[in-house]
Structure 1
Amino acid sequence: PVMAIVGGAKVSTKLDLLGNLSSKVDVLVIGGAMANTFLAAQGMNMGKSLQEAEMHDTARQIMAGAAARGCTILLPTDLVAAFEFKAHAENRVVPADGTPADMMALDVGPATVAAVKAKLSECRTLVWNGPFGAFEIAPFDAATVAVAQEVARLTEAGKLASIGGGGDTVSALKHAGVAERMTYISAAGGAFLEWLEGKELPGVAALTV
């Protein structure tokens, strides 16, 4: 089985990516603020969390399309919420449908991390683009680091081919100390995304003539 992890802030910037991946992979894990939009699209209260209200219909269409194609979408079941976006801000783990009105989700919680790890153990290939949370500030890097370390462990054990790419992703994997332990890291953020979106890349096309 093939898993894709797609994180980052906005659904709107990764529409083609989500659409293409949901037709190609077995498990699509959605993290980052992007997950907030998917949760809100299902009527969940996201408090002050960053999310795109205008993308709710699109998020529902992506979920329906994935289901029709037999792709499992894994959304957070718990979140780490804080009162403000700053390092070591007061925070607590809340259920995915229970972000308090005065708090914002800044990472996915431990139950979500455990679910992702469990699914990872069943997969042979992973494509990763985008972090799970606001990894630039502690402790909201916890989920990204935990999953990255598990990916590195499975890769080194020969159980997983792991491919990561995109600017934020490379930074996050370096932050987790595992960039060198992945099968392949793409430094070409834009081109890597276009490849994942299913677009033809001139350099690759030239090689396949």
Structure 2
Amino acid sequence: MAQDVVGEDAKAKANALKPGELLMLENLRFESGEENGDDHFTKSLAELGTAYVNDAFGTAHRAHASTTLIAQYFPNNKFFGFLITKELEALDKVLKSGESPVTAILGGAKVSTKITIIENILPAIDHLIIGGGMIFTFIKALGGQVGNSMVEDDKLELALDILNKAKSHEVQVHLPVDVLVADAFSNDANTQICATKSIPDGWMGLDIGPQAIENYAQVIKLSKTILWNGPLGVFEMSKFAQGTIQMGHAIDNATQLGAFSLVGGGDSVAAVKQFGFENKVSYVSTGGGAMLESLEGIQLPGVSAILN
């Protein structure tokens, strides 16, 4: 291991490498030039090798020296590693070449954080299953009573616009017909099942209900390609984890029947690991921010640097 990144020790040890040997450099982020993209630092780093392989999908959305800028010094010898190749192949199956029906399951608290993803994937999917807190922005926009549930009141028109866009793309949008509501945001709260459009005042929806679970499972069962991004409820509290767990079982069953299933983005990855579904889906993405930006249709700097 070198004691520096682009200093004399790194250069000497790089030049002394024999076939089959590896050299590990000191942490690149100890160097300010890594994140600010310093040209001198990038060139010095490139001088240590004769080919460039990027296999860090989790940082491919960052235009840093080692993840993006260095590739220009290897115009004919730059490559993706095995991991990034798998990530890109998984994304391609969902967004471009996947077998129909294609179903996207989107959870999360806010519509505003998912709008770009939804707009980008609509042309590629057949079904859109909605879960998480953003359910209630859609329900209120459609005229339902959502009690004390989380709602983005300034995004009601946006929710209706999403539904109209989905219709124009012939995408079936699935909202839960029932929800598990609580009288407090607590695992010890009182709970009841009620119709999603008729939540009493003083109660908030924290998970999808049993009929919604059954309806969603039927859609997933018939799907050939599945994208899961975001939990269905507040899975961190056991009382409100069943929607997420049952979706995991439904995706597991569909995968065993031959569907391709991709789990990507933040809390959904945490959920599949927590509930033991990590090895029961086709692929679990290793890149949080990178996966989300890919789903939004953004060309990742680290990917563009290899392709262009």
Q: TM-score, normalised by structure 2?
A: 0.66
1:161 maps to which of 236, 250, 260: 260
Q: List per-residue Cα deviations over 1:153-202 (Å, max 9, x = no partner).
A: 221x2421110111111111112210122111112111101111111112
Within 5 A, what are the aligned runs for 1:158-197? 158-197=257-296
Which SS does the other structure have where 2:108 is aligned? Answer: coil
Counterparts of 2:114 and 2:171 in 1: how far apart (Å)?
Answer: 17
> Contact between 2:208 and 2:232, CA under 8 Å: does it hold in 1?
yes
Letter in structure 1 aligned against 2:128: L
* Correspondence for 1:69: 169
| Structure 1 spans left out of the alignment, 5+ residues | none
Letter in 2 for 1:165: G
**2:143 equivalent in structure 1:** 43
Q: Which amino acid aligns with 1:198?
A: G
Equivalent residues of 2:221, 2:251 under 8 A apart: no
Return the match for 1:136 from 236, 241, 256. Answer: 236
Moved more, 43-52 or 172-181: 172-181
AA in 2 matched with 1:20: N
Describe the superposition over 1:16-49 as per-residue Cα deviations: whole angstroms up to 9, x where unpaired. 0111122221001110001111111101110000
Contact 1:41–1:60 (Cα < 8 Å) also in 2: yes
Name the CA distance, whole Å, in 1 between partners of 2:127 and 2:248.
17
State the secondary structure of the residue aligned to 1:105: strand
% of aligned pairs identical?
37
Q: Is the 8 A contact 2:102 2:126 kept in 1?
A: yes
| 2:103/2:227 contact within 8 Å kept | yes
AA in 1 matched with 2:184: E
Root-mean-square deviation (CA), in Å? 1.2
Q: CA deviation at 1:208?
A: 3.9
The number of residue pairs the alignment matches comes to 208
* Structure index of larger Rg: 2
For residue 34 of structure 1, the aligned residue among 114, 130, 134 is 134
Name the CA distance, whole Å, in 2 between partners of 1:115 and 1:21. 22
The alignment partner of 1:127 has SS state of: strand
State how far apart, in whole Å, the 1-side matches of 2:224 and 2:286 are.
Answer: 22
The answer to whether the 8 Å contact 2:179/2:194 transfers is: yes
Secondary structure at 2:269's aligned position in 1? helix
Do the aligned residues in 2 keep the contact of 1:21 with 1:28 (CA within 8 Å)?
no
The residue type equivalent to 2:270 in the other structure is S
Spell out the pairing of 1:112-123 with structure 2 (5 A cutoff): 112-123=212-223
Q: Deviating runs (4+, > 2 A) in structure 1? A: 202-209
Give the one of 33, 40, 53 matched to 2:153: 53
- DSSP-derived class of the 2:143 partner: coil
Deviations 1:104-130 (A, max 9, x none): 000010111111111111111111110
Is it true that 1:13 corresponds to 2:113 in the alignment?
A: yes
Deviation at 1:207, TM superposition (A): 4.4
Deviations 1:53-107 (A, max 9, x none): 0000000000001001101111111010000011142111100111110100000
CA contact 2:228–2:262 (8 Å) conserved in 1: yes
Structure 2: gaps (5+ residues): 1-100
- Give the distance between the partners of 1:207 and 1:109, measured in 2 at CA: 46
